[in-house]
Structure 1
Amino acid sequence: MNAASRQVSTRRVFHIPGYDPMPPRRYRELYRTEGAAQAAISGYEIGVRADKSDATFRWTVGARIDGHAVMSQVDVLVWADIVKGSMAQSIPATYGQLVQTAWTYISTGTLRRLMWMRKGPVIAALYPVVMLLTQLSLALIAGALIGGWVTDLLINGLRLVGLSQGGGFDAVAHALGWACLIGVTFFILRWFKARDNKLFAYYLMHDYAYSARLRGEVPPELDARMKAFEAIIAQALSEDVDEVLIVGHSSGAHLAVSIIADLMRAGHVRADGPKLAFLSLGQVVPMVSFLPRAQRLRRDLAFLSTRDDFTWVDVSAPGDGCCFALCDPVAVSGVAPEGRRWPLVISAAFTQSLSPARWKELRWRFFRLHFQYLCAFDQPKDYDYFQITAGPVLLADRYAGRQPSGSRIDVPVSKYTSVLP
């Protein structure tokens, strides 16, 4: 299919979520509701139908955009079970993760270098540390106050009945006071943890700890799942479709980098096969690639950056405080080779693509904004998630000739740049 006639009629889309324990069904419902909203705003037709797959969570999208009918099959590559397993930590274990993760990022100099680029994601990384320590401090203060009150009450009561001298009664009173301190402290900490669906302190702590646990190396259980994802995408690359589009959102972006690199090395991307495209959204690649043992990720970033047999568009927005907005993940990781082509770094420009009223509504909802790339824009510019995933234009053609964002950061920042194990 030559450049003049590359109209998409069939597409496979593989969505790799970030560190998310929620069932993948929510991604389908988000696509259905937000796709309908975007279609109404932009004047096209789109419909979503549930589908079945043993290996993925799937739905089918039918769209008519600019007079062209397109069928797209969307598969969520699920690793929520791994996320849930990594989050199944006791309260003491979570505080142990806090110490280990903070030490990893501080002692390696990674935290300092991350702060040179964007303050938002670093603040997001520090938030669970501050919040968990605040929770612990409040719990200990409350426990100490109540424990002290109980101790004094018992001692004074014993004195009133003349039992404070000898017999170890004072020791018993102090022991009960310490028991109250420990009990109240754990009760309050459990109370905070039960409300983490609003505070996100434990969730974020587990997220950062999962990447830092092996100092940037891929955990074995995740590596095995990524190999399974690779096999699923390889099958799609042998099918008669026009485009295979891989979407990596948040930490799913750096998973996608290594999966795509392995697909290419294995020869699954053929000149006579579907066009391969990669859309990274709200990426946090530096949180991993800056760590000392992330050689594999850095090697894969360098490898993909020079390939001419696929397209990589990286979309972020300064308004998203949970990502490294407009930071070229290859360049800032210090592995940009000669002849680098990718990624094309562009901005979703939330302050321009959302109306003033909508931006005011979402501005301080940080986690909701981190998912805005998968949602409708009421003043869309050249980024439309639904046209990209369900429209008649290849990702390569949609952004052909598009200049990267002028405010992108594309200088080496990472202290660790080795790509050898």
Structure 2
Amino acid sequence: MVEAGAATAREGAAVRRRHIVYVQGYDPRGLAQYYRMFRTELRKYAALNGVAASAGRPVVDDAKAMASWTIETAGDGWQTTTRYDFLRWEELIKRDLERPMARTVAVATTCFLRLVFNGVIARFARAHWRFAIFASYPYIMLTLEAALALLAGWLGFAGLAHVGAPRPLAVLGAAALFVAVLALLLERLEKTTYVLYLMADWIFTFEFARGRRPDWDARIDQFARAIVDAVAASDADEFVVVGHSSGSFLGLEVLARAFEIDPALGRRGPRLAFLTLGGNLPIVGFHRQAKPFRARLARLATEPSLTWIDFQSRKDVMNFYPFDPVAGHGLSLDAPRCNPKIVGVRFRDVIAPEHYAAFRRDFFRVHFQFVMANERKAAYDYFDMMCGPGPIAAAASAQPAQLVRWI
């Protein structure tokens, strides 16, 4: 963690008021579970660093599809008040997850095959081979479960044939058994494998990249307008948009559309920053049809009033590491590049040594460490960036020199 005095000395006056806009990824858990996690992790942050910290109850605004709470933190010689806005997508995600199982499997498999034949999966592999494996994981699991179901179907066919059933009846019985066993495996193993959830996620990104999600576009436009209004009315020292996981490309869309509404957004009022944590911009940007997204990425890359820091970790198979969002997308910029600053995160420095072996084997746990409290003081500390007195820009300069780079 960056000590308060050091961060202040590097970047100027301590932050007394901060406004955070948190953009979650494609996660149906939503507000209730995120708030509980935030409050639990805030207590861990306070205990580790010997500071006082408290979070107020969330205030829900259904009309704006967001909830907000206030965090008060104080240490030796400093006090910071943070407003934390949580943008809500969960009802859109739950609607996707309510699709019939057969439709999810059929549509997701079609999407994956198109990504293979269009060369997108190959581009994933060139950018980060471990992400390509992760992208293929639900289909590998589906193949294994289908193989078990096929074995059950074959045994059923053999059993029916053995008792003298007509061949057409045996074939129909085997097919019915195959479908039933596959559905049972998918349903019963979902809490362990997450196959159906990940397939729904891939359907969403496939459709979003091609501009086929008007419901999400409408929500993004609504949030963009809310950010413009909030920045104009803010008395904060800095205004920070945070995108975790697929919230990285959703946050980019929200912020870039806010700049389309108000091109001078970051040139008055609070300092404006954008953090992408464990991001996966290529899952949208690598689609040929995602030209509007790439144009917005280029817009933020050349915006001098914005501080964009992209945090990546080699241990996280769900983000791209090492990856330069500008060069990696082959963007040609029409102005000098300002963003993003790419920062590597060593989770070995964050997690206690006795917990690290188990930690690194839990891929979802690793992915969410970006937005959880540290077990050890380290250069990367999410809650210090959200609630501490140091300006966000200090987060990049605080990292070990060998991990801060333009790639």
TM-score by shorter chain over 0.5: yes
Query: What is the letter of the counterpart of residue 356 of structure 2?
Result: W
- 2:323 is paired with a residue whose SS is coil
Distance in 2 between residues matched to 1:4 and 1:374, nearest whole Å: 23
Residue 158 of structure 1: aligned partner: none
- 1:197 is paired with a residue whose SS is helix
Q: 1:319 Cα shift?
A: 0.7
Structure 2 CA distance for partners of 1:310 and 1:29, relative to 1, 3 Å: same
Query: What is the letter of the counterpart of residue 130 of structure 2?
Result: G
Residue 92 of structure 1: aligned partner: 102
The partner residue of 2:216 within 210, 213, 222 is 222
Contact 2:341 2:406 in 1 (8 A): no
Residues 341-380 of structure 1 deviation map (CA, whole Å, 9 limit, x = unaligned): 2111111211222232221121110011110011122223
Structure 2 CA distance for partners of 1:373 and 1:359, relative to 1, 3 Å: same
- 1:325 is paired with a residue whose SS is coil
Unaligned stretches of 5+ in structure 1? 156-169, 411-421
Unaligned stretches of 5+ in structure 2? 1-9
- Report the TM-score, using the length of structure 2 for normalisation: 0.89
- 1:395 is paired with a residue whose SS is coil
Q: Does 1:137 align with 2:147?
A: yes
Residue 316 of structure 2: aligned partner: 320
Residues 43-88 of structure 1 deviation map (CA, whole Å, 9 limit, x = unaligned): 2221112121213132221111443111112121111221222223
Q: Which moved more, 1:219-228 or 1:189-198?
A: 189-198
Q: Does 1:189 align with 2:186?
A: no
Distance in 2 between residues matched to 1:129 and 1:226, nearest whole Å: 30
Distance in 1 between residues matched to 2:119 and 2:91, nearest whole Å: 32
- 1:53 is paired with a residue whose SS is strand
Distance in 2 between residues matched to 1:281 and 1:315, nearest whole Å: 5
Residue 9 of structure 1: aligned partner: 16
Residue 109 of structure 1: aligned partner: 119
Residue 34 of structure 2: aligned partner: 27
Structure 2 CA distance for partners of 1:331 and 1:341, relative to 1, 3 Å: same
Q: 1:95 Cα shift?
A: 2.9
Distance in 2 between residues matched to 1:364 and 1:101, nearest whole Å: 28
Residue 70 of structure 1: aligned partner: 80
- 2:326 is paired with a residue whose SS is helix
Q: 1:406 Cα shift?
A: 4.9
Residue 4 of structure 2: aligned partner: none
Contact 2:379 2:398 in 1 (8 A): no
Residue 3 of structure 2: aligned partner: none
The partner residue of 1:386 within 363, 383, 388 is 383
Percent identity, aligned pairs only, is 28
Contact 1:315 1:326 in 2 (8 A): no
Q: 1:209 Cα shift?
A: 2.1
Contact 1:60 1:73 in 2 (8 A): yes
Query: What is the letter of the counterpart of residue 21 of structure 2?
Result: F
Residue 274 of structure 2: aligned partner: 278
Q: 1:176 Cα shift?
A: 4.3
Query: What is the letter of the counterpart of residue 90 of structure 1?
Result: P
Q: Does 1:347 align with 2:344?
A: yes
Structure 2 CA distance for partners of 1:404 and 1:132, relative to 1, 3 Å: farther
Residues 119-151 of structure 1 deviation map (CA, whole Å, 9 limit, x = unaligned): 221111010011112112211220221233134
Residue 39 of structure 1: aligned partner: 46
Structure 2 CA distance for partners of 1:252 and 1:215, relative to 1, 3 Å: closer
- Report the TM-score, using the length of structure 1 for normalisation: 0.86
Distance in 2 between residues matched to 1:182 and 1:399, nearest whole Å: 57
- 2:242 is paired with a residue whose SS is strand
Structure 2 CA distance for partners of 1:71 and 1:373, relative to 1, 3 Å: same
Residues 21-64 of structure 1 deviation map (CA, whole Å, 9 limit, x = unaligned): 11221111111111211221122221112121213132221111
- 1:319 is paired with a residue whose SS is coil
Distance in 2 between residues matched to 1:8 and 1:372, nearest whole Å: 24
Q: 1:247 Cα shift?
A: 0.7
Query: What is the letter of the counterpart of residue 177 of structure 2?
Result: V
Structure 2 CA distance for partners of 1:406 and 1:336, relative to 1, 3 Å: farther
**Corresponding pairs, count:** 391
Q: 1:405 Cα shift?
A: 5.4
Q: Does 1:372 align with 2:369?
A: yes
- 1:74 is paired with a residue whose SS is strand
Q: Which moved more, 1:307-316 or 1:353-362?
A: 353-362
Contact 1:62 1:71 in 2 (8 A): yes
Residue 306 of structure 2: aligned partner: 310
Q: Does 1:210 align with 2:197?
A: no
Higher Rg of the two aligned structures? 1
Query: What is the letter of the counterpart of residue 207 of structure 2?
Result: R
Contact 1:327 1:408 in 2 (8 A): no
